[in-house]
Amino acid sequence: MIVQDVINHLEALAPLSYAEDFDNVGLLVGDKTAKLTGVLVTLDTLETVIDEAISKKCNLIVSFHPIIFKGLKKLTGKTYVERVVIKAIQHNIAIYSMHTALDNTFQGVNNMICNTLELENKQILIPQNGTIKKLTTYVPKNEADTLRTALFNAGAGHIGNYDNCSFNVEGTAHLRVTMHRLQQLAIKEKPIPRLKPKLP
């Protein structure tokens, strides 16, 4: 397993497109192709967290808050942010931040807070663009339930306080093969002429 394998799981849970424009999420430090030795999860990537990762032989730190929020112009070790980044690089430790990408996912931080407070009638106050995707597919009627179940089991069908959401319409397909396709078929089906040997 490599660092990217963990990143794939994290981004399936909280896609980076869910993050706010001002945020700095994703892989901030390190090599995504490095072989994974261990993962350390933290709220903030402090110097003590880097030391803990070193002692526990973890080469990936998954943090909520990004250690690099604004651009770094120097890496001299003057600030704790610079020291963290320098030490992480020296010890081949990758740092990945989730922050508002995790905030804005339906099963993320805010949802857990609402559940802890036992809130009812939950709704998104400021919907984030791109957090809802529509999947349109066509399937034989007798396979519709099987497909829906598979999609729901994979995590599809969540809208706000509802799950297993789908919209189904029966219909009859009408189509006509284009002239271009007919020409392609004619070319493919055209018999290959056999060459007759010319006898003297």
Residue 169 structure tokens: 């319409």
- pLDDT tens for 133-189 read 788 888 888 999 999 999 988 878 877 667 888 988 888 877 788 888 777 777 665
Lowest average pLDDT, out of 18-27, 55-64, 110-119, 156-165, goes to 156-165
- 27 DSSP β-pair partners: 96
pTM: 0.67
b/e code 119-151 from CB counts within 10 Å (16+ = b): eeeeeeeeebeeeeeeeeeeeeeeeeeeebeee
Structural domains in the chain, sorted by start: 3-102 (3.40.1390.30), 132-193 (no CATH)
Match 């040997």 to its residue by tokens: 197
Does residue 163 have a known ligand-binding role?
A: no
Specify burial of residue 16 (Cβ count, 10 A radius: 0-12, 13-18, 19+). Answer: middle
Q: What is the pLDDT of residue 191?
A: 60
Lowest average pLDDT, out of 58-67, 90-99, 102-111, goes to 102-111
Q: What is the pLDDT of residue 53?
A: 98
